[in-house]
Homo-oligomer: A and B are copies of this chain.
Amino acid sequence: MAADTLSKTFAALADPTRRAILARLTGGEASVSELAQPFDMSLPAVTKHLKVLQRAGLISQGREAQWRPCRLEARPLRDASQWMESYRKHWEQRFDRLDEYLRSTGGRAGPPRHRRKKK
């Protein structure tokens, strides 16, 4: 995956309104005005967010003249998630160090539960 594509994905996700739009689209296709409804925002402002999402390939828009439904395109999220996976051992190491510390202090609580929650 080109570095530039990954940058576009992350930049598109760096906004709570855009993440809320994606969350809404997990429930199915929606028109631009349906997507605009929950936000205290002008239609042009929402359209601007949709363009950022579209350029990042995170949504696509139908061609029907009247009702141009937007739909979620999750593939860039898969690629971004794969990039993050390569750091998993680094965030898990922090918990391993906590485990070691707890054991060395003779705590009776045992290792934290989250350690077993590998997906």
Q: A4 to B16, Cβ gap below 8 A? A: yes
Q: Determine whether A90 belongs to the interface, using a CB cutoff of 8 Å to chain B.
A: yes
Q: Determine whether A10 belongs to the interface, using a CB cutoff of 8 Å to chain B.
A: yes
Given the known interface contacts A11-B14, A81-B85, the answer about A90 and B119 at a Cβ–Cβ threshold of 8 Å is no
CB distance from A2 to the nearest CB of B (A): 9
Instruction: List the interface of chain A (C-beta within 8 A of B).
Output: 3-4, 6-8, 10-11, 13-16, 19, 22, 26, 72, 74-75, 77-78, 80-81, 83-88, 90-91, 93-94, 119
- Apart from A26-B87, A74-B94, A77-B87, 17 more pairs, CB < 8 Å: A3-B16, A4-B16, A6-B13, A6-B16, A8-B14, A10-B11, A10-B13, A10-B14, A11-B11, A14-B14, A72-B87, A72-B90, A74-B87, A74-B93, A75-B94, A81-B84, A85-B119
